């Protein structure tokens, strides 16, 4: 079992729709959770971070954390073609974990 | 300002060469990281510096040698690399790190390394 699991996709959504990305983790000692966006050939760019249960919103992005169920999600509202990228879920606590990423394609 | 810079952007080196990668941040962060990323894989942690001291070495071969001259700078010295070491090398920084728990990490643009 991988410590952080993501659906590799690809996930395709039409422009303007909501994209929903999910991540589950196995280490209950994980405390901090991050979402990174990575375009092909580029470095990861921090999109959201969340440390407490509940929702956190920043512009078109909402991160959700449920520690009891051990999942983290990222919602992207009004998806744009420029959101097409790989999204990496990461967690730290007892260890540094990166998920393998979900490939998102937003279709114009 | 959430900028981490890395030089060079690209590096091609032979297996007998010695080269260095450089990373700089001016965010006042006290934790700095080196990661290695192969194509279509997530970043793999190599080293962590906390308050300029090496706190984590993920069993990285000795041909990779990190150095933290001050709180803003991080170097990775390379010697006698193998072709399988070709990858994107990423530097990151965060406010602090406690053990293996960190605040949000900001990545630099990376150095694309090719070993011939």
Task: Identify the pLDDT of residue A39.
Answer: 97
User: What whole-number distance in Å separates Cα of residue B63 and Cα of residue B81?
Assistant: 6
Task: Identify the pLDDT of residue B72.
Answer: 96
Helices (H), A1-108: none
**pLDDT grade for A90, boundaries at 50, 70 and 90:** very high
Q: Which residues contact B46 (CB under 8 A, 6 or more apart)?
A: B33, B34, B35, B36, B57, B58, B60, B64, B66, B76
Question: What is chain B's percent helix, strand, coil content, to nearest 5?
Answer: 5, 60, 40
**Does B104 contact A at CB distance below 8 Å?**
yes
Say how many Å lie between the first and final Cα of chain A, rounded.
Answer: 36
Distance of alpha carbon A24 from its chain centroid, rounded? Answer: 10
Q: Among A57, A49, A42, A102, which residue's Cα sits nearest to residue B101?
A: A49
User: What whole-number distance in Å separates Cα of residue B46 and Cα of residue A67?
Assistant: 28
Q: Do A49 and B103 touch (CB under 8 A)?
A: yes
**Does B102 contact A at CB distance below 8 Å?**
yes
Average pLDDT of the residues of chain B? 95
Give the A window 21-60 contacts with B, CB below 8 Å. 31-32, 34, 36, 42-46, 49
Q: Among B116, B87, B106, which residue's Cα sits nearest to residue B5?
A: B106
User: What whole-number distance in Å separates Cα of residue B112 and Cα of residue B36?
Assistant: 10
Residue of A nearest to B44 (CA): A98
Q: Do A92 and B2 touch (CB under 8 A)?
A: no
Q: Do A44 and B90 touch (CB under 8 A)?
A: yes
Average pLDDT of the residues of chain A? 95
Residue of B nearest to A87 (CA): B42
CB distance B29 to B80 below 8 Å: no
| pLDDT value at B78 more than 80 | yes
- CA of B33, closest CA in chain A: separation in Å? 11
CB distance B115 to B15 below 8 Å: yes
Give the rounded percent of residues in chain B with a pLDDT score beyond 70.
98
For B8-63, how does the pLDDT look when each residue is reduced to its tens digit (9 = 90+)?
Answer: 999 999 999 999 999 999 999 999 999 999 999 999 999 999 999 999 999 999 99
**pLDDT grade for B101, boundaries at 50, 70 and 90:** confident
Give the rounded percent of residues in chain B with a pLDDT score beyond 90.
91
Least confident of A1-5, A83-87, B12-16: A1-5
Q: Do A94 and B101 touch (CB under 8 A)?
A: yes
B60 or A7: which leads in pLDDT: B60
Task: Identify the pLDDT of residue A1.
Answer: 64
Nearest CB to B101 within list A32, A46, A101 = A32
Q: Which residues contact A17 (CB under 8 A, 6 or more apart)?
A: A79, A106
Of B23, B49, B100, B108, which to mutate for an interface test with A (greatest number of A Cβ within 10 Å)?
B100
CB distance A34 to A21 below 8 Å: no
User: What whole-number distance in Å separates Cα of residue B84 and Cα of residue B9?
Assistant: 19
| pLDDT value at A66 more than 90 | yes
Q: Which residues contact B5 (CB under 8 A, 6 or more apart)?
A: B23, B24, B25, B108, B109
| pLDDT value at B1 more than 60 | no
């Amino acid at each position: 079992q991988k410590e952080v699991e993501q659906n590799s996709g690809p996930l395709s959504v039409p422009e303007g729709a909501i994209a929903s990305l999910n991540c589950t983790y196995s280490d209950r000692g994980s405390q901090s959770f991050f979402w990174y966006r990575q375009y092909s050939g580029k470095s990861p760019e921090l999109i959201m971070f969340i440390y407490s249960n509940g929702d956190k919103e920043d512009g078109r992005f909402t991160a959700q954390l449920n520690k009891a169920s051990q999942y983290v999600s990222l919602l992207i509202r009004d998806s744009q073609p420029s959101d097409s990228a790989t999204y990496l879920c990461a967690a730290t606590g007892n260890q540094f974990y990166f998920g393998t990423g979900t490939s998102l394609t937003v279709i114009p | 300002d959430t900028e981490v810079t890395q030089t060079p952007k690209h590096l091609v080196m032979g297996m007998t060469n010695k080269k260095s990668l450089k990373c700089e941040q001016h965010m006042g962060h006290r934790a700095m990281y080196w990661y290695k990323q192969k194509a279509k894989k997530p970043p793999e942690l190599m080293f962590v510096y906390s308050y300029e001291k090496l706190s984590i070495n993920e069993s990285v071969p000795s041909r990779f040698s990190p150095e933290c001259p001050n709180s803003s700078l991080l170097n990775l010295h390379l010697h006698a690399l193998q072709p399988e070491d070709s990858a994107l090398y990423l530097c990151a920084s965060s406010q602090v790190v406690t053990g293996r728990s960190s605040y949000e990490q900001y990545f630099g643009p990376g150095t694309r390394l090719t070993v011939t």
